[in-house]
């Protein structure tokens, strides 16, 4: 196979938002060439037409063309929902070979389960990206099966660095990564929703409330990045004794803000684990028969 990402043929199985985010990143950063990117789905033709015209990739739902794409690919990226894994894998399995690299973005699907469903020992990279990948500011957690060599590790890392940052962790830690960065954008949106609501209740226009909230979140994130200080230290610096910010932090503490975030992170991690366990789990009917 080609060992450089710019030459590699990459087949995306699933043509949804995560596949598009990675494709856009690869093309915009010029780390891959559009003609080497293949995208496939089951039925949504308008989606395929959009991806073809927007990115110049090859896209199909035709079974024979899909088989050709899969056989030709150096890297196969699994981008379907967990509920579609079993049927998709049954179609995929005969076309894959152990010289290819398999990359999964499927929440909760363990490497062992992917190996068992596909009856393969091909190298597998399991990832947990997030939606900010769409604008190149993603945060991806990544783990490798024992079969992934250094070249493939580098290739997979480069692929996801095209859409943001990559953190390599042991596989069992990908659930907590899901809780932190996978679901994390939603916590920040929820926080912003609440800030905007409070600003409007306090008398600001919707536009002003939105602008001030957005700039505050952007500014705070950049402060952490630029100063390299701990958020706790930055918070201490803006919280004068007996001042307005101290009053607001005390209000957050009364409502157990910190505990709520902790619970959010762990609930997401737990649910990701459950979803993974449900993939290909025997149905209640199958169990009783
Ligand atoms: N979005 C996120 O923030 C995020 C973050 C981390 C991980 N993920 C993971 O990324 C995966 C994809 O999420 P998404 O948001 O991109 O989903 P999505 O927008 O719903 O896209 C799923 C795609 O899979 C296709 N598909 C379903 N069954 C298929 C099959 N048998 N063969 C080929 N294509 C098939 C669907 O098209 P047809 O229906 O036409 O086949 C669709 O194009 C999920 O497993 C999710 O856990 C997503």
What are the chain's domains? 10-174 (3.40.50.720), 183-255 (1.10.3730.10)
pLDDT in tens, 43-53: 999 999 999 99
Nearest C-alpha to atom 4 of ligand 1 is from which residue?
Answer: 130
pLDDT score of 146 more than 80:
yes
**Residue 12 Cα, ligand 1 centroid: separation in angstroms?**
10
How far is residue 242 from each of residues 195, 236, 250, 260, measured CA to CA in Å? 22, 12, 10, 25
**Residue 103 Cα, ligand 1 centroid: separation in angstroms?**
14
* Residue keyed to tokens 């402060």: 223
**Residue 156 Cα, ligand 1 centroid: separation in angstroms?**
19
% of the chain with per-residue pLDDT over 90 = 91
For 240, the token pair is 């004068």
Residue 122 contacts by C-beta under 8 Å, 6 or more apart in sequence?
A: 96, 97, 98, 99, 100, 101, 102, 147
Atom of ligand 1 nearest to the CA of 18: 16
Q: Can you tell me the distance from the alpha carbon of 67 to that of 36, in angstroms, rounded to the nearest whole number? A: 15
Q: Can you tell me the distance from the alpha carbon of 141 to that of 47, in angstroms, rounded to the nearest whole number? A: 27
CB 112 within 8 A of CB 145: no
**Residue 15 Cα, ligand 1 centroid: separation in angstroms?**
7
- pLDDT bin (cut points 50, 70, 90) of residue 279 is confident
- Report the chain's mean pLDDT, rounded to a whole number: 94
Atom of ligand 1 nearest to the CA of 21: 16
**Global pTM?**
0.92
pLDDT score of 26 more than 50:
yes
Sign (positive or negative) of CA dihedral 17, 18, 19, 23: positive
CB 165 within 8 A of CB 139: yes
- pLDDT bin (cut points 50, 70, 90) of residue 284 is low
How far is residue 111 from each of residues 84, 103, 144, measured CA to CA in Å? 17, 10, 8
């Amino acid at each position: 196979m080609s060992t450089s990402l710019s030459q590699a043929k990459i087949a995306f199985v699933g043509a949804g938002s995560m596949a598009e985010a990675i494709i856009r990143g690869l093309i915009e950063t010029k780390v891959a060439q559009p003609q080497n990117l293949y995208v496939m789905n089951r039925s949504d033709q308008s989606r395929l037409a959009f991806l073809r015209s927007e990115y110049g990739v090859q896209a199909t739902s035709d079974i024979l063309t899909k088989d050709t794409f899969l056989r030709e690919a150096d890297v196969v990226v699994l981008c379907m929902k967990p509920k579609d894994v079993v049927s998709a894998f049954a179609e995929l399995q005969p076309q894959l070979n152990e010289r290819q690299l398999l990359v999964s973005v499927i929440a909760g699907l363990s490497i062992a389960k992917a190996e068992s469903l596909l009856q393969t020992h091909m190298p597998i990279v399991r990832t947990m990206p997030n939606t900010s990948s769409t604008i190149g500011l993603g945060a991806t957690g990544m783990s490798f099966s024992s079969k992934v060599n250094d070249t493939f590790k580098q290739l997979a890392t480069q692929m996801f660095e095209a859409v943001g940052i990559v953190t390599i962790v042991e596989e069992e830690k990908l659930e907590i990564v899901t809780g932190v960065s996978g679901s994390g954008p939603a916590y920040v949106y929820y926080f912003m929703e609440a800030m905007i609501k409070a600003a409007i209740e306090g008398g600001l226009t919707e536009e002003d409330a939105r602008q001030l909230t957005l700039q505050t979140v952007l500014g705070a994130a950049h402060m952490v990045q630029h100063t390299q200080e701990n958020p706790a230290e930055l918070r201490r610096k803006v919280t004068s004794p007996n001042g307005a910010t101290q009053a607001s932090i005390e209000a957050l503490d009364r409502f157990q803000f910190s505990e709520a975030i902790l619970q959010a992170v762990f609930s997401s991690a737990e649910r990701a684990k459950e979803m993974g366990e449900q993939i290909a789990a025997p149905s209640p009917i199958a169990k009783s028969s």
